[in-house]
Amino acid sequence: MNAWLSQTQRDEFRHRGVTCLRGALESDEMTVLRAAFDWTLANPGRGASRVAPGMPGTLYGDLANSESFGAYRNVNTKTSLPSIIAELFSTPDVWYMYEQVFLKTGGDDAPARRTPWHQDESYLPVTGEDLAVAWISFGPLSAVESLEFVVGSHRGTLYDGSRFDPSDDTIPLYGTGELPRLPDIEANRADYDICSFSVDPGDIVFFHPAMLHRWCASTAVVKSLDVVTSLFRRRLDGGAPAERHGGDLVSHTRDNRIHASHAAGQTFGRGCTFSRRRVPAGCDVAASLSALFGWRR
């Protein structure tokens, strides 16, 4: 196994919740990723949307497209990304869960809006230690244009999701009382240990989906920021063997989701637990994600 990650980086991921791996992907691997990204832009799925329409610039996103498996297969078979994730988890087996892409551009006379502080895990029916988001940019970003993280927040409170409402970033997505409302981190930044990374093409920022994070506003008015993220998790102990699904472990996303929908609430080793969190039918994310991840209404 190649040593992409130092022990310090693995420890950073475990304890701080985020680490940055410089120069991890070669140019040909970035070409593979870009082809998958472009496929997503050309083939919007049920989760495609423009975030905060009416604000300066554009922030377009898409995720968990059920038709994307073929387009992303090369990402999992012709890049080192799955092997790096396996090294991050110290296990030979990892499962790819879904893709997510963003296209961000500045407005004519103002930068694109930052995203609200939020935790990805609030929107997911899975929890546990061995979960990782791989955040990859196709262009250079300074630290003030990149993601910001509240260090160690993956080991703290899981908050309600943000509705991404420009009037108030903390307005709850669910509002059921099961999860507490997000704090106003931006108004109280001095109270939090916040970190960020400048990135170049080929760098990967790995973070746990329970990390409080946000994407900063783009400082260049017309700059385009193209980003692809993928969510991996460790193979579940006691899960179905690879040959039952066929292909590589990192490639059976469709079967894995079906398996997940029937395993809600069960724990399969230390890596992951499927949550029984209910998503109210009125939430914007429910229609696009409930079918893919087996969320119950």
Q: Domain for residue 43, yes or no?
A: yes
Calculate the alpha carbon distances from 242 to 78, 184, 263 in Å: 19, 44, 17
Reduce the DSSP state of residue 275 to 3 states and report it.
coil
Q: Domain for residue 1, yes or no?
A: no
Q: How far apart are CA 158 and CA 211, in angstroms?
A: 9
Report the relative pairing of strands 18-21 and 204-207 from DSSP bridges: antiparallel
Q: Domain for residue 190, yes or no?
A: yes
Domain with 118 in it: what CATH number?
2.60.120.620
Is residue 137 within 8 A of residue 199, CB to CB? The reply is yes
Q: Domain for residue 25, yes or no?
A: yes
Please state the φ and ψ torsions of residue 99, each to the nearest 5 degrees: -100, 155
Q: How far apart are CA 280 and CA 124, in angstroms?
A: 13
Q: How far apart are CA 293 and CA 281, in angstroms?
A: 15
Q: How far apart are CA 128 and CA 73, in angstroms?
A: 25
Is residue 127 within 8 A of residue 121, CB to CB? The reply is yes
Is residue 154 within 8 A of residue 208, CB to CB? The reply is yes
Q: What pLDDT is attached to residue 218? A: 53
Q: Domain for residue 2, yes or no?
A: no
Q: How far apart are CA 87 and CA 130, in angstroms?
A: 11
Q: How many CB atoms lie within 10 A of CB 171?
A: 17
Look up the domain containing 188 and give its range.
7-293
Domain count, the chain: 1
DSSP 47: T
Edge-to-edge order in the sheet of strand 224-234? 18-21, 204-207, 131-137, 224-234, 94-105, 58-63, 49-50
Residue labelled with tokens 């998958």 = 36
Q: What pLDDT is attached to residue 269? A: 30
Reduce the DSSP state of residue 34 to 3 states and report it.
helix
Is residue 64 within 8 A of residue 100, CB to CB? The reply is yes
Q: How many CB atoms lie within 10 A of CB 265?
A: 10
Q: What pLDDT is attached to residue 294? A: 34
Q: What pLDDT is attached to residue 33? A: 94
Q: How far apart are CA 296 and CA 204, in angstroms?
A: 33
Is residue 237 within 8 A of residue 271, CB to CB? The reply is yes
Q: Domain for residue 148, yes or no?
A: yes
Tens place of pLDDT for every residue, the chain, 297 residues? Answer: 468 999 999 999 999 999 999 999 999 999 999 999 999 999 999 888 876 655 666 778 899 998 998 999 999 999 999 999 999 999 888 888 889 998 887 666 666 667 899 999 998 888 888 999 999 999 898 998 899 999 999 999 999 999 888 889 999 999 999 999 999 999 999 999 999 999 999 999 999 999 999 987 555 433 455 677 888 877 654 443 332 222 233 322 323 332 222 222 222 233 555 454 544 444 444 443 433 333 332
Q: How far apart are CA 136 and CA 138, in angstroms?
A: 7
Q: What pLDDT is attached to residue 290? A: 38
Q: What pLDDT is attached to residue 177? A: 92
Residue labelled with tokens 């989701």 = 257
The residues, ordered by sequence, that sit 6+ positions from 38 with a Cβ below 8 Å of its Cβ are: none
